[in-house]
Amino acid sequence: MKVYLDNAATTPIDPEVLDAMLPVMKQTFGNPSSIHNYGRETKALVEQARRQVASYFKVSPGEIFFTSGGTEADNMAIKGAVEDLNITHAITSKIEHPAVLLPLENLEKKGKITLDFVKVGNNGHVDLEDLELLLQKNSKPAIVSLMHANNEIGNLLPLKKVAELCQKYHAVFHSDTVQTVGHYSLDLTGIPIHFITCSAHKFHGPKGIGFLYINGNIKISPLISGGSQERNMRGGTENVYGIAGLAKALEIAHRTMAAQQEYILGLKSYMIEQLETKIPGVEFNGDAKKSSLYTVLNVLLPETSKKEMLVHFLDISGIAASAGSACSSGSNTGSHVLRNIGTDMNRPSVRFSFSKYNTKDEIDYCVGKIAGVYKD
């Protein structure tokens, strides 16, 4: 049996999305910047997709900027805020995605900002009281960058509460929402947030396409220069068929959201139950049973001499899972997220992440293979 349980890294493309993209690849090939009919037709498709995307978040189409994905969008928000909004103070956590941590650390090294890290509890949740203290103690213009759902442990941030706290102290708020767009309904009319990010391949869309939402009350400069595309905000010919795929994937996600949330959460709960039944001493990193992304389960297994080979063993058993973020899989230092929430790094941790295409039979197969490691 082959089982794909690494959906937080990327998801298989939905057949409906592929069907929406193929005619664009074949027929709507004009450059959106061209003034002839071919270009105008393509431009119309891009702008229709922008309106469609904006409608799901109750924002203006002029606040949506298509990017190559979440990493570019995070960099654009952070660097643009610092350069153009006179930001000299940044607050984040040590369990953020590298797309947030690295640009902030680089800006600190260049002397452009002072960088503070908010405390994170052993359950993986950001300490909001400490966040308020950090906002209070520094009178400099600040940006707060905290992800909506952690990509490794799944913990959810109370987005509205943090946004209101930032508003109270006149701070700019950026949230990496890559793991939650397409999985939760985000009505931004009631959330005073300045930037959110998206990557289509996290919800059965194509790779290489995402967007950055920029609140219309603020203005930043482009990260990529070289053309007037995206209303002078991102140089380079638009990824037209990617944009079409993103819009279709988002439409499917919102159309089926309630049913998929229930189904996938059921798979996650079932896996927790089966692991606890069959593997004494198993635990879960983060807040897996409470305030957690329904698609992610990070399992802390008992010590074993096979720790370093466990993910490889799963792979040769036909099971795709992860020991951490796929974006930092080349690192040999272990997960920075798990280290910073106090996880016992002598024990193996494996992240399983689910989609609508997974089944209980696959969960049974996976749990059986893991249980077998502890019987040998």
Would you please indicate which residues are annotated as catalytic (active-site) residues? Answer: 327
189: helix, coil or strand?
helix
Helix pair 257-278, 360-373: axis angle to 10 deg: 30
Torsion angle (degrees, nearest 10) of CA 218, 221, 224, 230: 50
Answer for the pair 288, 297: CB distance below 8 angstroms, yes or no.
Answer: yes
Write down the residue that tokens 């790779």 correspond to: 207
Separation of alpha carbons 69 and 245, rounded Å: 13
Separation of alpha carbons 198 and 210, rounded Å: 5
Separation of alpha carbons 47 and 231, rounded Å: 11
Question: Which residues partner with 155 through β-bridges?
Answer: 292
Residue 361, Cβ density class (10 Å: 0-12 exposed, 13-18 middle, ≥19 buried): exposed
Q: Pairing mode, if any, of strands 349-353 and 296-300?
A: antiparallel
From 336, 358, 340, 338, select the one nearest 348 (Cα to Cα): 338
Half-sphere exposure of 159 (CA within 13 A, CB side): 25
Question: Which residues partner with 199 through β-bridges?
Answer: 210
